[in-house]
A and B are shown apart, each in its own frame.
Chain A
Amino acid sequence: RKEVEQDPGPFNVPEGATVAFNCTYSNSASQSFFWYRQDCRKEPKLLMSVYSSGNEDGRFTAQLNRASQYISLLIRDSKLSDSATYLCVVMMNTGFQKLVFGTGTRLLVSP
């Protein structure tokens, strides 16, 4: 079983749609959780951290369910510029703060 699993997509949605991505992780000792965005042929960049209480940043909402080892990202009012791959990332304490990346979910927003 992969340490971090995501639906690879692609998710094809029209502008203005709401789309949700899910992620599960296998190591219950995981400490911190993140969503990264990776544009085509670019390096990943942090989109947002994920907290147990849930957090929101504009059109983006992230949720963490530690009991179910499940992380989600909700994007409201999708824009063309949201088209990218969204990586679920889990940090583990293995002597150093190791990041484990999911395979990513590809989002395509069309006019």
Chain B
Amino acid sequence: SAVISQKPSRDICQRGTSLTIQCQVDSQVTMMFWYRQQPGQSLTLIATANQGSEATYESGFVIDKFPISRPNLTFSTLTVSNMSPEDSSIYLCSVQSQGNTEAFFGQGTRLTVV
């Protein structure tokens, strides 16, 4: 299993500002994943973060809006840039076990943009 520490757990931010979310994993992992879960919705993959290369973004998500860092095999950050109320959501980081039989998630960051 993997233990993921994600912070902040929640934040209320002014529109136009940026927030950086951090995830620390207790073991080395090749890929880390960032998801968004909007109210009443399921998880949508934002991007996949590989150590030593640029993140791979899913359709509808761009690097300028959601820059990601992956400086080593246990840590990643997601920044939500130039926020608007539509960015209010829960953001979760995730890793997958060896053999990809299970995904583990951070506790989530509940973001409210006012």
- Interface residues of A, Cβ cutoff 8 Å to B: 32, 34, 36, 41-46, 49, 87, 89, 91, 96-104
Contact = CB atoms under 8 A, between A and B. Distances in A.
Contacts, number: 40
B80 interface: no
Interface stretch (B40-48, B66-74, B81-89): B40-48
B105 interface: yes
A contacts with B: majority SS: strand
Given A43-B107, A43-B108, A91-B100, A96 B31 contact: yes
Given A43-B92, A96-B48, A97-B96, A102 B42 contact: yes
A98 B106 contact: no
Nearest to B108: A43
Contacts of B26: none
Interface string B16-33: 000000000000000101
Given A44-B43, A87-B43, A99-B103, 13 more contacts: A32-B101, A43-B106, A43-B107, A44-B105, A46-B103, A91-B100, A96-B48, A97-B96, A98-B45, A99-B45, A100-B45, A101-B43, A104-B42
B102 interface: yes
Contacts of A99: 33, 45, 96, 103
